[in-house]
Structure 1
Amino acid sequence: MRRPRPIPVGSPLQLLLLLCSFALAAYAAVRLLEDDWFEGALWFVGAAIVHDLVLVPLYGAADQALLRGSEAVDRRGWMPYVRVPAALYLLLLLVWFPLITGRVADRYARGTGMSTDVFLPRWLLITAVHFDGSAALLAVSRWRSGGGPRASSSS
């Protein structure tokens, strides 16, 4: 009978970082559940269900549509340059949705004394910067690999 191999655990620094992340998650859970534990638990379960049953199929379908619409030969070259900024802008939209749409404008203004009018333009600007930066990185990558503009041989 073969002896099972031990599971690699990583370096001491990785273990320390893992323990710190568990401690931070436990602290956040305690703080989240200290006022009204039922609503906190309900929010957490609801967020997990919405993510797994709604968001994963949506962005999976969008990714598959992008793959089907692209040429199979060059897909690996430019797909990360679309996926990464798209994921970042969707994450920002998900986190800041109430402020971007202005749904909590009154409550936010009462609590902070500031307006929510700046969130939509800033989100659009950040999105544009992400996609423009990604396009610039793709252009530089193509140019460095020799796939960029070529000089004509008729001179």
Structure 2
Amino acid sequence: MRRPGIRIPLGSPLQLLLLVCSFALTGYAGVRLLEGDWFEVALWFVGAAVLHDLVLVPLYGAADRVLLRGFEAAGARRWMPYVRVPAALSLLLLLVWFPLISGRVADRYASGTGLSPDGFLARWLLITAVLFGGSAVLLVLRRRRLAQKVVHLP
């Protein structure tokens, strides 16, 4: 006979093991990260979260609404993902690699890694072009396939 009460949903033993290992790794990384100047690291995390949540998310949303209205005005809303996905990936890469793309930390990067910081802007532009080009090719192929289906309907 089972007693009524709160039942904690547990996954498989492998899921629990992976969860415990991920918490252990996160804890270890946190201890190592905060080992030096913990106040500046904590301040950077809080600042990054505030900047992202209060500044960047509203900008993302506003840009997406403007893009959506533009596509709706042109009567091409179904093309929106073919612009949205490569733009989001490109902007994510820009956000992550901005210090090197802009060249602001080129000297520090070169002295820390021994590698040349040149080429990050060119590589980011190339990746962006490939993302948008691949999206355009996919759009053309899907439109062609849709046109063939419409032609072959009985």
User: Where on the TM-score scale, by shorter chain, does this alignment land: which range?
Assistant: 0.7 to 0.9
How far does the alpha carbon of each residue in 1:43-83 deviate from its partner, in whole angstroms, 9 at most, with x for none?
Answer: 110110000011001111000000111127541x2222212
In the alignment, structure 1 residue 131 sits paired with structure 2 residue 139: no
Q: Pairwise mapping of residues 60-99 of structure 1 onto structure 2 (< 5 A)?
A: 60-71=61-72, 74-75=76-77, 77-99=78-100
How far the C-alpha of 1:16 sits from its partner, in A, is 4.8
> Can you give the 5+ residue segments of structure 1 that lack an aligned partner in the other structure?
none
- TM-score by length of structure 2 reads 0.79
Q: Secondary structure at the match of 1:71?
A: helix
Give aligned-pair identity as a percent: 74
Contact map agreement 2:83 2:135 (CA 8 A) in 1: yes
- TM-score by length of structure 1 reads 0.79
Over 3 Å counting, the alpha-carbon distance change for 1:138 and 1:24 in structure 2 is farther
Task: Name the counterpart of 1:120.
Answer: 121
In the alignment, structure 1 residue 57 sits paired with structure 2 residue 58: yes
Letter in 2 for 1:22: F
Task: Name the counterpart of 1:103.
Answer: 104
How far the C-alpha of 1:8 sits from its partner, in A, is 6.0
**C-alpha separation between the residues in 2 aligned to 1:22 and 1:8?**
18
Q: Pairwise mapping of residues 2-41 of structure 1 onto structure 2 (< 5 A)?
A: 14-41=15-42
